[in-house]
């Protein structure tokens, strides 16, 4: 074999290997390659200087008034124009940042990363968004680096929101070491008065949640809340809440917000091959929905407001969860099986885009083609069917 030929052979071998490596790499990342990839950050990292979107120019007076009033309703003048700007300002080109204590494995951090990518590839990149993986006190050694993670959490709050560091730090140092297993909590984005629509979530999961396949779903669930919060623009309507009503320009009842978040997180992770338990999830949710409906006679109508939630809890502690998560997910699964998967996602996006402009009840009707009452009645009819038939309906989602 001549020298030249030998060299050619070596290059051919190297080239084939590169081709194999490239093919493998592109197979695993292709689906999310157009996304902004979340970044894992050290706890002592400095914080980015985010630049936001200015929706105030020319609207200073209107927005100042809205902020001061905080009564949760849009302005009369240029409502659509201002709403569109604020909705846009909830999107970002900045990558989501993940902060974790040293107890978390690479596998856990990757699961949280992938959960965000699964959702952002479908709904877009919202934020800036920070995730704090804190852990829980279920076993000794699960809560470490509390001060370090509380510091970066509160430095971020101080830098990007109106909450001062001291206040945040005192609360975090009390709360973080006492987290039980397992879940996550999301902090809302603000609307009026902020150029940076910073959002964050705190996770009390641990490495076991990742092994059970749960962390990726939790991360997807929280990121759906990030998306939803991008459409909450006008502040809280305290008066409506005190009167036991659901704010007109809010996301609607909590069960709707949570039903979408959990149902879609389960579905999206299933579609991308990361959730083998989707069918079990639907079956178990159906069992819980049947139990709360037949034994306790509750329906989704019974948890429309915060007062309702408290009322349900006082009668049956577990019922609030069974309604808010399981029954809500089943009700939305019934809706999806009726209108089809693609229409359902389009209607979901249309719903949130309409909430700040026409209010949640009209947004639901415009987007899903039925009023809230018609929806409730459809679920009543579903709940009376034999279980075999119910399963057939929700298994259309598989």
- List interacting residues with Zn ion (CB under 5 A): 258, 261
Smallest distance, Å, CB 380 to Zn ion?
A: 25
| Contact indicator for 255, 214 with CB cutoff of 8 Å | no
Pick the closer one to Zn ion by CB: 258 or 365. Answer: 258
Q: Which residues contact 345 (CB under 8 A, 6 or more apart)?
A: 122
| Contact indicator for 383, 334 with CB cutoff of 8 Å | no
| Contact indicator for 160, 198 with CB cutoff of 8 Å | yes
Smallest distance, Å, CB 40 to Zn ion?
A: 23
Backbone angles phi and psi of 39, in degrees to 5: -115, 140
Alpha carbons 308 and 302: distance in angstroms, whole number: 6
Alpha carbons 342 and 346: distance in angstroms, whole number: 6
DSSP state of 129: E
Smallest distance, Å, CB 381 to Zn ion?
A: 27
Pick the closer one to Zn ion by CB: 31 or 313. Answer: 313
Sheet with 184-187, strands from edge to edge, namely: 39-41, 97-100, 129-133, 199-203, 184-187
Pick the closer one to Zn ion by CB: 215 or 390. Answer: 215
Pick the closer one to Zn ion by CB: 100 or 261. Answer: 261
Smallest distance, Å, CB 314 to Zn ion?
A: 22
Smallest distance, Å, CB 326 to Zn ion?
A: 13
Q: Which residues contact 245 (CB under 8 A, 6 or more apart)?
A: 305
Smallest distance, Å, CB 258 to Zn ion?
A: 5
Pick the closer one to Zn ion by CB: 90 or 261. Answer: 261
Smallest distance, Å, CB 170 to Zn ion?
A: 25
- For the four alpha carbons of 217, 393, 121 and 30, in that order, the dihedral sign comes to positive
Pick the closer one to Zn ion by CB: 261 or 264. Answer: 261
Smallest distance, Å, CB 225 to Zn ion?
A: 6
Pick the closer one to Zn ion by CB: 263 or 356. Answer: 263
Q: Which residues contact 333 (CB under 8 A, 6 or more apart)?
A: 263, 282, 285, 393, 394, 397
Cα-based distances in Å from 260 to 170, 224, 252, 281, 389: 33, 8, 12, 14, 23
Q: Which residues contact 202 (CB under 8 A, 6 or more apart)?
A: 132, 134, 153, 176, 184, 185, 187
Pick the closer one to Zn ion by CB: 256 or 261. Answer: 261
Q: Which residue is nearest to Zn ion (CB)?
A: 261
Alpha carbons 221 and 184: distance in angstroms, whole number: 9
Pick the closer one to Zn ion by CB: 182 or 357. Answer: 182
Alpha carbons 253 and 306: distance in angstroms, whole number: 9
Smallest distance, Å, CB 158 to Zn ion?
A: 25
């Amino acid at each position: 074999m001549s020298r030249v030929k030998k060299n050619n052979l070596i290059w051919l071998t190297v080239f084939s290997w590169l081709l194999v490596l490239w093919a493998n790499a592109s197979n695993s990342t292709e689906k999310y390659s157009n996304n902004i990839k979340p970044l894992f950050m050290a706890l002592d990292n400095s914080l980015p200087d985010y630049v936001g979107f200015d929706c105030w120019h020319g609207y200073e007076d209107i927005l100042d008034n809205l902020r001061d009033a905080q009564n949760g309703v849009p302005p009369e003048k240029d409502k659509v124009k201002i709403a569109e700007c604020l909705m846009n300002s909830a999107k970002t080109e900045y990558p989501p940042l993940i902060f974790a204590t040293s107890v978390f494995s690479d596998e856990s951090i990757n699961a949280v990363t992938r959960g965000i990518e699964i959702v952002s590839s479908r709904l877009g990149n919202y934020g800036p968004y920070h995730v704090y993986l804190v852990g829980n006190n279920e076993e000794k050694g699960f809560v470490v680096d509390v001060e370090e993670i509380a510091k970066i959490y509160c430095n971020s709050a101080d830098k990007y929101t109106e909450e001062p560091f001291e206040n945040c730090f005192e609360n975090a140092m009390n709360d973080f070491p006492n987290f039980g297993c397992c879940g996550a909590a999301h902090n809302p984005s603000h609307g009026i008065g902020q150029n940076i629509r910073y959002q964050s979530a705190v996770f009390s999961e641990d490495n076991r949640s990742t092994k059970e396949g749960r962390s990726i779903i939790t991360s997807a669930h929280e990121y759906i809340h990030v998306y939803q919060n991008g459409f909450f623009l006008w502040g809280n309507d305290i008066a409506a809440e005190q009167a036991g009503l659901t704010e007109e320009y809010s996301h609607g009842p909590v069960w709707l917000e949570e039903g979408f978040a959990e149902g879609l997180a389960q579905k999206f992770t299933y579609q991308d091959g990361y959730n083998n338990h989707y069918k079990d999830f639907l079956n178990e949710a159906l069992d819980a929905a049947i139990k709360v409906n037949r034994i306790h006679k509750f329906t989704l109508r019974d948890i429309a407001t915060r007062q309702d939630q408290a009322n349900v809890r006082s009668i049956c502690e577990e019922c609030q969860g069974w309604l808010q998560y399981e029954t809500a997910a089943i009700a939305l699964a019934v809706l999806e099986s009726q209108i089809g998967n693609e229409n359902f996602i389009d209607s979901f996006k249309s719903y949130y885009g309409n909430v700040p402009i026409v209010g949640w009840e009209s947004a639901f009707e415009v987007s899903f083609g039925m009023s809230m009452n018609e929806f409730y009645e459809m679920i009543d009819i579903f709940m009376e069917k034999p279980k075999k038939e119910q399963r057939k309906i929700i298994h259309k989602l598989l």
